[in-house]
Chain A
């Protein structure tokens, strides 16, 4: 099998935070050090080899980066300080950019300036929505001076309007993410022998279990308990908040100074969100564990905006209960100016897309393994290492 070597890939990866592939001398320490590797899930070395040789097709069709949770054991013991864990991280960023057909992800990951601009553009669009003359936001408020005296969100952000646009936004973002994931499935399916549909169907459970629990993470040797638990609670936090906003907004958004019991769910979600993201921010500043050593703007934007979303949300709630109308409206605007860019940019184009890519990768791996187990023994479908003749 011939291989076309493409040295530009290594240079390309440096834009995604992976500048150490050149140091690797392929000893395989990382793969064996990893507690998660087994059978055909052998990373990081294999993927680093792809990077070194510039095998784009192999990289695009590889599940390896998604199988890694960055415990850092490989980076701690790498004899070349090639930081395999960081290269897996860069691999995930690169794959997110490559699967995203709009090119927005590429711009965001490669350039902090673009990332900041995108966040600013979406935030300003939200601001415009509230401030430009219309029958929404401050435009609506102008027509109802009594709402300036006492909080009444019905005259600032009527919940049926908000709910409608919530759902539209959700559908658009979901469709974008799904279309990107479709490209991933296509790329992955091009590598290796075909997997029958029945295998995909019988492994659907993997997708659901991993998507809900990320339980595979528990298999990491270092820091798994802490990181998994923290992540799991963070997930329960935003999933409950997501349900409140997307489905139960009618009850959750109380328009006057009243109180509805759904606020208790909101308290839980907010408390967990602030504690977990605050803790992550502290860990990322301390840089003690490998997983926290390398933070670029995309990481900071993700965790920072999550924290600010929670903070602005709870302040908004307090201002409403205290009947501080103008503060409430301003905080409502601010809350959405933080939250909407976070969702719009991170879910389909950024770090949050792992919500789908990770379980999908494990699902595709499980389906492939099932197909292999059905294949008659003695048939060898090519060598897993492309460089061997």
Chain B
């Protein structure tokens, strides 16, 4: 862990793709930035993805260089496994209180050899792989994690000391406590990202109950070369699925669960995952059940046409109910609107719920910004200043302001960094301390 200074020009909260980009763009203009991440590794959602649409570029190949860059940037200080406790405006900027959670591993001493993980006797569902794989109670979050430092989960640890005995640098420390860190920051960028609605938010879909009803991000892991199985297999029995269904709007555009807005990315990632599945498993049928396909961005409509051309079946039907067969296959009940309104029950090996996107973090008084009625950060001047929050000096980027795809999040991160830079320039000029 780098030395924490008392004062920073910018604080960036969240080190997903938007937060990293904002930190890089601000640091690139000569400002000192403190980048704070809640998880043990930076990278956010993007580092877990397989490919990005519509170019089918490798997601890690875009994300990991940025991760390395922020980790090595001389003007960026990285604080992982750290949460914001309080953020308050002062005469000089913002007074920030952070809480660094105990890793039970001395970060500076860990060399990322993973000997502790091999020595550990506990098996824990792998969070990064959405429970499809497993890791030990002390583990390096994933292969691309930055920092490559182990973290110990006391919830599962048996405290038998196996890891401590195996550690060559003696960096396991069971006595660590949460550590409060106070800094000053001139400007703040919130890039706190997204969560998906809970898998079981729509009970009629059986998410969380039926093992072959999957989270789309888990499907990304299945498709990733560094994923849990290295292949697309269904969780219940390891069968190569021959028929995969995507249930669109499984928790967005749905007033009955309080998410009335469109999550924007689901149509595109369903098409993308479909294309990738059929590239690897050409005999596997992919059916996307949708209310309408929203291919809104540059090249997206063409991507949609390409997917259809590659044999993805796109069916206009809102799935009303999923039931599980004894062999763990799944039956989807739909009205086939384009076939005269026929009601049908269609069997699939595996179902992916295109779960809606909701905010990853709520300030709950920790930061003085207002949230919109959809739960994302309020942008008072959406048309004119889309990166400005309701509070002066606090800027916002990425999905924290509303569902968006990776290019939009990166663009917005740049805008937030630019706004923050201008704000810092103005306040430093006002203080007479132009450097």
Contact = CB atoms under 8 A, between A and B. Distances in A.
Interface string A38-49: 110010011000
Interface string B307-326: 00000000011111100000
Interface in B139-159: none
B343 interface: yes
Interface in B405-427: none
Interface string B333-356: 111010011110000000000000
A240 B151 CA distance: 76
A67 to B, nearest CB: 12
B93 to A, nearest CB: 44
Interface in B261-303: 291
Interface string A178-207: 000000000000000000000000000000
Interface residues of A, number: 25
B249 to A, nearest CB: 7
Contact of A28 (B253, B254, B335): B335
Contacts of B340: 383-385
Given A26-B337, A28-B337, A384-B340, A33 B204 contact: yes
B256 interface: yes
B111 to A, nearest CB: 51
For chain B, give the interface size range: 20 to 34
Contacts of B319: 29, 32
Contacts of A29: 318-320, 335
Contacts of B255: 78-81
Residue of B316, B334, B343 with most chain A CB atoms under a 10 A cut-off: B343
A257 interface: no
A77 interface: yes
A46 B335 CA distance: 10
A80 B316 CA distance: 17
B254 A31 contact: no
Contacts of B334: 28, 32
A76 interface: yes
B69 to A, nearest CB: 42
A27 interface: yes
Interface in A1-46: 25-34, 37-39, 42, 45-46
A42 B342 contact: yes
A37 B343 contact: yes
Contact of B335 (A25, A39, A42, A81): A42
Contacts of B202: 77
A45 B335 contact: yes
Interface string A327-361: 00000000000000000000000000000000000
A27 B318 contact: yes
Contacts of B204: 33, 77
Contacts of B253: 79
A31 B256 contact: no
Contacts of B316: 28
B317 A32 contact: yes
Contact of A79 (B249, B333, B335, B343): B249
A42 B202 CA distance: 23
A77 B335 CA distance: 14
A45 B320 contact: no
Given A77-B204, A77-B256, A31 B343 contact: yes
Interface string A69-89: 000000011111100000000
A253 B291 CA distance: 62
Nearest to A23: B255
Given A28-B335, A33-B320, A79 B341 contact: no
A20 to B, nearest CB: 11
Given A25-B291, A79-B255, A81-B255, A42 B343 contact: yes
A37 B343 CA distance: 7
A29 B291 CA distance: 9
Contacts of A37: 335, 343
Given A32-B333, A33-B321, A81 B256 contact: yes
Nearest to B251: A79
A32 B335 contact: yes
Contacts of B343: 31-32, 37-39, 42
Contacts of B291: 25, 27, 79
A37 B334 CA distance: 11
B256 A28 contact: no
A117 B296 CA distance: 57
Interface in A266-280: none
Nearest to A36: B343
A163 B315 CA distance: 63
Interface in B335-386: 335, 337, 340-343
A31 B341 contact: yes
A192 to B, nearest CB: 13
A77 B253 CA distance: 12
A316 to B, nearest CB: 48
A25 B340 CA distance: 16
Contact of B341 (A34, A46, A81): A46
A32 B343 CA distance: 6
A290 to B, nearest CB: 12
B339 to A, nearest CB: 9
A365 to B, nearest CB: 15
A141 B321 CA distance: 66
A30 B256 CA distance: 12
B232 to A, nearest CB: 27
Given A31-B343, A38-B343, A79 B256 contact: yes
Nearest to A41: B343
B116 to A, nearest CB: 48
Contacts of A32: 317-321, 333-335, 343
Contacts of B318: 27-29, 32, 79
Contacts of A78: 255-256
A25 B255 CA distance: 12
Nearest to B290: A27
Given A32-B333, A32-B343, A42-B341, A79 B254 contact: yes
7 contacts: A27-B317, A29-B318, A32-B318, A32-B321, A46-B341, A80-B255, A383-B340
Q: Top 7 A-B pairs ranked by shortest CB distance?
A: A32-B320, A28-B335, A27-B318, A33-B320, A31-B335, A79-B254, A29-B318
